[in-house]
Structure 1
Amino acid sequence: MKFHFEFDVKKMLHPIQHQHNLMLIGSCFTENMGEKLQKHKFKVMDNPNGILFNPVSVAEAITAYVDNTIYTSSDLFQYNDAWHSWKHHSRFSATTTEASLQKINTATAAAHAYLSNADHIMITLGSAWIYTLTEKAPQAKHGSVAANNHKAPADWFYRRLMAIEEVLSVLDNMIHRLFFFNPKLKIIFTISPVRHLREGVIENNRSKAVLIQAVHHLVDKFDRLYYFPAYELVIDDLRDYRFYAEDLVHPNYQATQYVWEKFLGACMDDDTRNLIKEIAEINIAHNHRPFNATSAQHRKFMASYHEKTWQLQQKHPYLDFSEELQYFAF
């Protein structure tokens, strides 16, 4: 008896390898994948602006990295005794403009340098609903879209659903800028399986439909674009509330692990997957906490994994096992 509909995921034409530089940008699901990639020793820059949901904010952030934009105090606003940016997550907020701008401009400069030599960028879109600033919002510019509302009053925003043509235009311009800036770059698009139920069930489905239609149009247009079906794997393959957290919005550990395994199968070759298994074994040993740290058995265990880690480091010098080697040296 089958309890879910499993489908084949199209393999990526240019698989990801550990030698590659990856940038991830988009919704909170992006950070779930980024954490797993970093855990398995991939070189990753994850969400330099913080979590972003809509195509406009993603495109604006990427364009700022390409241009190496320098933000000034005129780009910030004060609310609840802190300074914020409408283009950045609240982790860039601070009690002074100088502190906030320091964090923002440092992150932008680092993203500019990293993106110029990146091999892949993974863009995860969460919602086609955008919140434009009204005249009541401080530092509001005509038609400006807020990437983060910073818990500001509702009358500072006007909500609307982007049209497919609008999403296409925003992303198409961004893609051309990216390819001109970094000709070797490959783009992976995903749609976040996180359900934006605060918008409403019907509104969430309308939003996802707009994103899916627009992204597939672009994937068909550009040969360096690839679509990974994270959304479909959770919604149509697993298709059960057992795979969501208690809020019924975010996929739980089992769901993200299932998507991760599918990602490995579709986006990485056999050699990379085998290396991931070896790294995972070392991670487990590194996280092991012994009952008796002074026992001969534990010393033997540590020596064994120090040797395994050292051998793997010699075989793959582009990986960094310094922390693990220090731990196993005991």
Structure 2
Amino acid sequence: MQLQTKIPLKKEIKNTIDYNSKIVLLGSCFSENIGDKLTYYKFQSNQNPFGILFHPKAVENLITNAINEKVYTVDDLTFQNERWHCFDAHSNLSSADKNELLNNLNTAISSTNNQLEAATHVIITLGTSWVYRFIETDTIVANCHKIPQKKFLKELLSVDEISESLEAIIELLKSINKEIKVLFTVSPVRHLKDGFIENTLSKAHLITAIHNILNEGYTFYFPSYEIMMDELRDYRFYTEDMIHPNKTAINYIWEKFSETWFSESSKSMMKEIEVIQKGISHRPFNEKSAQHQQFLKSLELKKSKIKTQLSFIKF
């Protein structure tokens, strides 16, 4: 008996991800879910140097500034609730010390430039088409930092505006890295604060715009949003807020992503690394027992074997 309608997935053949791949993840919080999985399995990956970025204009702005090696100054900061913020970055980077914030921003810009130049794959997860424009400077911000809403105008990016932004992102990336592969996905996180109908409209704009710019060979789409909405069509796959996918859903989508995008050789290596990771997190009843000491020796041998094959891996 078939109890689900399955999203058909075409396995990638030529541009698969393996342990030689260098991956940069940008965008919505779902990119961090996938990024955390890549980190767990010890892939060469970096995620969201400016924190979570929800909409395409914020991602475009980060990539533009990284490639142009922008230097942030105090003029790029704003002070609110006893902390310094930057409208280009998430509040996670904000600080009570403006010099600390500037240092973190400029360090992130420099490292992102280097990572994009070396990357084989960039995974961009888009969360929403809704943006906020800071009235004082007439610029779209990545994060409002709880500054009073009357200082912003809320706008819905059109399909054409999003398509233009995504095309700009691709051109920028290609200007410094001709071989880079760009994988787009839409976050399954529901932005219900915008409204139910408004959230659906927002996701539709993102999906339509992405499909407008897909080009076989270097731009791709993975249907994480569709998997969540269709294959996992049940509230038991959400956290208590009924907005975010829960651990089961994240693991399910990760499995689909792995099946589609990872090389066969990397899958076998992932199994070996998972055994080690579970061994590291194991808590024995008796740390001094001979059995546990033998377990630790076996674990170290497994680590050494992996490090011999992939010297960049650290446990």
Task: Note whether the superposition's TM-score is higher than 0.5.
Answer: yes
Match for residue 218 of structure 1 among 213, 216, 227: 213
Within 5 A, what are the aligned runs for 1:114-263?
A: 114-135=115-136, 141-142=137-138, 144-219=139-214, 221=215, 223-263=217-257
Judge conservation of contact 2:128–2:206 (CA < 8 Å) in 1. yes
Match of 1:88 in 2: 89
Give CA deviations for 1:267-306 in whole Å, capped at 9, x if unaligned.
0111111110110011101110100011111111111222
Judge conservation of contact 1:5–1:238 (CA < 8 Å) in 2. no
Judge conservation of contact 2:21–2:120 (CA < 8 Å) in 1. yes
Q: What amino acid is the match of 1:320?
A: I
What CA distance in whole angstroms lies between the structure 2 residues aligned with 1:212 and 1:288? Answer: 42
Match for residue 318 of structure 1 among 305, 311, 314: 311
Match of 1:326 in 2: none
**1:101 alignment partner, SS class:** helix
Worse-superposed segment, 234-243 or 11-20: 11-20
Percent of aligned pairs with the same amino acid: 39
Judge conservation of contact 1:23–1:44 (CA < 8 Å) in 2. yes
4+ runs of 1 displaced by more than 4 Å? Answer: none
Judge conservation of contact 1:19–1:318 (CA < 8 Å) in 2. no
Q: What amino acid is the match of 2:42?
A: K
What CA distance in whole angstroms lies between the structure 1 residues aligned with 2:83 and 2:310? Answer: 44
Within 5 A, what are the aligned runs for 1:5-154?
A: 5-12=5-12, 13-135=14-136, 141-142=137-138, 144-154=139-149
Please report how far the alpha carbon of residue 201 of structure 1 lies from its aligned counterpart in structure 2 after TM superposition: 0.7
Judge conservation of contact 2:7–2:226 (CA < 8 Å) in 1. no
What CA distance in whole angstroms lies between the structure 2 residues aligned with 1:227 and 1:47? Answer: 19
Q: What amino acid is the match of 1:21?
A: K
**2:141 alignment partner, SS class:** coil
**Unaligned residue ranges in structure 2 (runs of 5+):** none
Judge conservation of contact 1:234–1:255 (CA < 8 Å) in 2. yes
What CA distance in whole angstroms lies between the structure 2 residues aligned with 1:191 and 1:166? Answer: 16
Judge conservation of contact 1:26–1:47 (CA < 8 Å) in 2. yes
Match of 1:328 in 2: none
Match of 2:285 in 1: 291
Match of 2:262 in 1: 268
Q: What amino acid is the match of 2:200?
A: N
What CA distance in whole angstroms lies between the structure 2 residues aligned with 1:218 and 1:306? Answer: 47
What CA distance in whole angstroms lies between the structure 2 residues aligned with 1:40 and 1:317? Answer: 12
Please report how far the alpha carbon of residue 60 of structure 1 lies from its aligned counterpart in structure 2 after TM superposition: 0.5
Match of 1:304 in 2: 298
Please report how far the alpha carbon of residue 222 of structure 1 lies from its aligned counterpart in structure 2 after TM superposition: 5.1
**2:54 alignment partner, SS class:** coil
Give CA deviations for 1:93-115 in whole Å, capped at 9, x if unaligned.
12232121111111111111111
Q: What amino acid is the match of 1:224?
A: Y
**1:116 alignment partner, SS class:** helix
Worse-superposed segment, 73-82 or 252-261: 73-82
What CA distance in whole angstroms lies between the structure 2 residues aligned with 1:94 and 1:270? Answer: 44
Give CA deviations for 1:100-131 in whole Å, capped at 9, x if unaligned.
11111111111111111111100000000111
Judge conservation of contact 1:72–1:101 (CA < 8 Å) in 2. yes
What CA distance in whole angstroms lies between the structure 2 residues aligned with 1:319 and 1:76? Answer: 36
Please report how far the alpha carbon of residue 48 of structure 1 lies from its aligned counterpart in structure 2 after TM superposition: 0.8
TM-score where L is the length of structure 1:
0.93
